[in-house]
Amino acid sequence: MKTVGIDLTFIENIDGVSGEEVFSLAILNGFYNAGKQQQITVFTLESIRKQILAMYPGLHVISVKKSGRKFYNKTIKNELKKTPFDLIYYPHAHSIMNVNLKCRIAVTVHGMKSKKVSGKDFRKILKKLRKVDFIAAASGFVKNEILSKNRRMPEDNVIVIPNPIADIRPGMEIVLKKKFILSVNSDSEQKNLIAIVKAFNKIKGEIPHDLVIIGTIDENGRAYRYIKKYGLASRVIITGRINRDILFGYYRNADLFINASRYLGFGYTPIEALVCQTKVLSTEMPSLTAIPDVDCDGYIENPHNYEEIANKILIALFKSISDKSLEERAVKVKEFYNPVKAAERYADLFGM
């Protein structure tokens, strides 16, 4: 029976803040509910150990005070001496992960672009990926990215396994004075929030809705400066980062969810919105186009064309779709992104 050590030490909040954290907690859920708990050991921070064990009784957890180079270069090696794992799995590729261990290594790659990761660190990640035994990519787009930057890497070395969804919540009731359109985004260049704000400005006089933006917005960024310049503060509500209970309340109460991302790595937020039975307008994210017999309520063909986005917002807003159709669509999305199914694919890849 093969044993796998899973690194979750980069997660500081059990709610999951980034897409990588949401994925990692979902794949743990999948392994546990697929009956693999006897084969996995999870490395976590001491601050979330009790919460992990409360969610997954009987799980073998090794906790550390903090993550970082000492953990990857010393602690994990010492633990391998005590417990000879067959494989160490990094569900989040990063520049300081240790790929020179006396066991096999697996990594999931979610994309090769990030506002938080420098070009230098991405080059370090690419170098490390050449030494890894198993690479899973969140989408075909990400797989092509990896292969384009590692031309000598055989195509079969990278397996596409879509990210699962596990943490779907009823959400808190959101009470706003007006109806609203929702975007869950940072204002990084690839997320293209500025396009949504400009498109909203074009049609704000034609609709009763406000625009709600959930995410970290830089006051010196393009979107914030545009909102200020055109006096949109009374119609554009910026919440900042919020917990997932409140987030799902916004998903479920929005009349339309919009995503205009220019980077097509995967796309968690559009499928979370679909699961919440909300209408969705988006660029063609792999997370959406991968689901058989499921479409969102409009696709943005050119994320730089604010006129197109504005027109498609109006079309999607006033598109008639029954509650039953929204519910049936949500069921299909949840079934496709079932965490147990994803974990079973990983287990097959790892030979568990």
The tens digit of pLDDT for each residue in 303-330 reads 999 999 999 999 999 999 999 999 999 9
pLDDT tens-digit series, residues 203-256: 999 999 999 999 988 888 899 999 999 999 999 999 988 888 999 999 999 999
- Tell me: do 14 and 37 sit in the same domain: yes
Model-level pTM? Answer: 0.92
Q: Which of 22-26, 95-99, 148-152, 282-286 has the lowest mean pLDDT?
A: 148-152
User: pLDDT value at position 256?
Assistant: 98
**Residue 194 carries which side chain, given as an amino acid letter?**
I
Structural domain boundaries, residue 266 = 180-336
| Residue 173: φ, ψ to 5° | -70, 125
pLDDT for 185-217, tens place per residue? 888 888 999 999 999 999 999 999 999 999 988
Q: Do residue 81 and residue 213 come from a single domain?
A: no
Give the residue, 7 or 170, on which the prediction is more confident: 7
Classify residue 171: in a domain, yes or no: no
Q: Does one domain contain both 16 and 160?
A: yes
Residue 116: per-residue pLDDT: 63
Residue 277 in any domain: the answer is yes
The answer on 194 and 47 residing in a single domain is no
Would residue 188 count as lying in a domain?
yes
DSSP label of 196: H
- Residues 344, 320, single domain; the answer is no
127 and 31 belong to one structural domain: yes
Please report whether residue 10 resides in a domain: yes
Whether 117 has a pLDDT exceeding 70, the answer reads no
Same domain, 61 and 195: no
User: Do 199 and 84 reside in the same domain of the chain?
Assistant: no
Tell whether the model's pLDDT for residue 144 goes beyond 80.
yes
CATH of the domain at 103: 3.40.50.2000
Are residues 227 and 268 part of one domain?
A: yes
Comparing 71 with 150, the larger pLDDT belongs to 71
**Percentage, residues of the chain above pLDDT 90:** 78
What is the mean predicted confidence (pLDDT) over 270-280?
97
DSSP label at residue 299: B
Tens digits of per-residue pLDDT, 28-55?
999 999 999 999 999 999 999 999 999 9
Number of domains in the chain: 2
Flag whether 141 is in a domain.
yes
Give, for 339, the enclosing helix (H) or strand (E): helix 339-350
Tokens 């797989």: give the residue. 143
pLDDT band per the 50, 70, 90 thresholds, residue 100: very high
Distance CA 308, CA 114 (A): 26
Q: Is 192 exposed, middle or buried (0-12, 13-18, 19+ CB in 10 A)?
A: buried
E strand or H helix that includes residue 306: helix 306-317
Amino acid at 310: A
CB burial of residue 327 (10 Å; 0-12, 13-18, 19+) = exposed
Residues 298 and 228 in one domain: yes
Are both 316 and 345 inside the same structural domain?
Answer: no
Q: Which range, of 46-60, 116-130, 151-165, 210-224, averages the lowest pLDDT? A: 116-130
Please check whether residues 126 and 19 belong to one and the same domain.
Answer: yes
Cα gap 203→352, rounded to integer Å: 54
